[in-house]
Amino acid sequence: MPRLVSYRRLFELPGARAFTAGNLIARLPMGMFSVSAVVMIAETRGSYALAGAVTAAGLAATAVVAPWTARLVDRHGQARVAVPATVIAVLGSLALLLCVRADAPDWTLFASYAATATTPNIGGMSRARWAHLLAGDAEALHTANSFEQAADELCFMLGPVLAAFLCGTLFPEAGTLVGAVLLLTGMLLFTGRRATEPPVRAYIPAKPPLRAQGMPPLLGACLAMGAVFGSTEVVTLAFADARGQQSAAGVVLALQAAGSCAAGLLYGAAKPAGPAAARLPWCVAVMAALLTLPPLAAALTGSLPLLAGTLLVAGMATAPTMITVMTLVQERTPEGRLNEGMTLAVTGLLGGIACGSALGGWTVEHASATAGYAIPVAAAVVALALSRFGRPGTGGTGRSGDDAAAPPRACAGHA
């Protein structure tokens, strides 16, 4: 198939298949850990409130620690930092398992889960390798970023399903245990491919990515898009539960991720038209428009199958939008700090997911699940407004001076 040729060319590069295999193995647990922790704690302690509080505290710790870990990766190299950071995270997961098993005090659960915040951003490191291998080839890098986004969607679609299956069929701690093994195994395989690792730069610019031109509004858009994802998940769970079909909620959300995964692969096989800064508002506008379908289906029919169909369609705008966002992050991040810039974007998404989950839950409790679907639409509109900042001619966020003469970071191989 002609569309698959561009992906086949990616994996003909020396070492690409090997580091991608490790990347996928290490990335799968990213969708497993939170679900596994919630099930494990709720089953053994009988408290979903405690389980939610522990995972929320872990998310807050990740928001603080992840950019710092990424900065160390940029300064010292992926293998030297990612492996010990992963070992600490795995030990934290195992400590959580043992504390739950031994009925240790609640505070030990918070401390153990917080240690998992050192988990490196494997997606960011993989994208940095592609940027290094595909220096100067913008079209191939677009395809690589599309593949990485599709991999994100696939892992976050399969991860919760695998975690729930392991915890439900074996024992409550099984999801956490298997996730820890997969993370360490995959990271060792990934970092062991030293030939594809981006070289460490002798000089790392002092200017942090957060202060780079055009980055603040872009990270704000990431925060808003995270709110879309977080609120949609909570509201969909509540909508299904209100109709006595809570077991089907996971399938409904998986359909949304499947639509995003498929659209991401198709988008990656297509040649991008125009600069990423010009494409982003259009991508977000389509996402906002499609997100109006679920509330209409919920309000007019109340049918969960029809809602699932609208979420499948709405999900098709997610991956193209995120691919464009990550391309812009690569372009705007100062040279030598790509992992830190990518991790800031992921941190923004995680923060938005937490805020969206909280706001969606509040709306469901005080209004209805149907009313809750207004939250993703509102968040997408905010993301659309923010995405218009940083475009050429919008006042102060485009490239200027030396930056204007420099090639885009993603195309120059500055990983």
Q: How many CB atoms lie within 10 A of CB 208?
A: 16
Q: What is the pLDDT of residues 20-67, one digit of tens each?
A: 999 999 998 887 887 788 778 878 887 767 877 787 788 778 878 888
Whether residue 407 has pLDDT greater than 70: no
CA distances from 44 to 59, 97, 108, 173 (A): 22, 11, 15, 9
Give the span between the Cα atoms of 280 and 277, in whole angstroms.
6
| Element spanning 114, H or E | helix 106-115
Q: Among residues 152, 219, 236, which one has the least CA distance to residue 383? A: 219
Whether residue 415 has pLDDT greater than 50: no
- State which CATH number among 1.10.10.10, 1.20.1250.20, 1.10.760.10, 2.60.120.380 fits the domain covering 211-403: 1.20.1250.20
Give the span between the Cα atoms of 141 and 145, in whole angstroms.
6
Whether residue 167 has pLDDT greater than 90: no
Q: Which two tokens stand for residue 299?
A: 């309000």
Give the span between the Cα atoms of 260 and 146, in whole angstroms.
11
Q: Which two tokens stand for residue 249?
A: 């909620």
Query: What is the architecture of the domain spanning 1-200?
Result: Up-down Bundle (1.20)
Higher pLDDT, 131 or 247: 131
Whether residue 166 has pLDDT greater than 90: no
Q: Which two tokens stand for residue 167?
A: 């915890």
Whether residue 121 has pLDDT greater than 90: no
**Cβ pair 302, 242 in contact under 8 A:** no
Residue type at position 9:
R
**What crossing angle do the helices spanning 122-133 and 318-332 adopt, rounded to 10°?**
70
Whether residue 149 has pLDDT greater than 90: no
Q: Among residues 195, 194, 155, 134, which one has the least CA distance to residue 24? A: 155
Give the span between the Cα atoms of 381 and 228, in whole angstroms.
10
- For position 392, what pLDDT does the model report? 45
Give the span between the Cα atoms of 182 and 328, in whole angstroms.
31
Select the highest-mean-pLDDT range: 85-94, 156-165, 323-332, 385-394. 85-94
Over pLDDT 70: what percentage of the chain? 90
- For position 97, what pLDDT does the model report? 92
- For position 132, what pLDDT does the model report? 84
- For position 391, what pLDDT does the model report? 55
Q: What is the pLDDT of residues 362-384, one digit of tens each?
A: 888 788 888 989 999 999 999 99
Q: What is the pLDDT of residues 73-84, one digit of tens each?
A: 888 888 889 999
**HSE-up of residue 231 (Cα within 13 Å, Cβ side):** 31
- For position 2, what pLDDT does the model report? 47
**Start and end residues for every CATH 1.20.1250.20 domain found in the chain:** 1-200, 211-403
- For position 411, what pLDDT does the model report? 32
Whether residue 341 has pLDDT greater than 90: no
Report pTM. Answer: 0.75
